[in-house]
Amino acid sequence: MGVWVDRERCVGAGMCALTAPDVFTQDDDGFSEMLPGSTAGTGDHPRVREAVRACPVGAVSLTDD
């Protein structure tokens, strides 16, 4: 199971980066992105699942790949 950040939907609330800072960060414009090389960036990680729930606009989601 993978993780997807829809950058067009993201409003920069930062809940994902606060919830799972070892997986997510915010770019220079404040929008969410996955940290390169993150070993916790799977949907099986409990904090990633919480980040999906915490996103106020649903920009973070789990994928089937």
Q: What is the pLDDT of residues 9-60, one digit of tens each?
A: 999 999 999 999 999 999 999 999 999 877 665 667 889 999 999 999 999 9
| pTM metric for this prediction | 0.85
d(CA 22, CA 4): 15
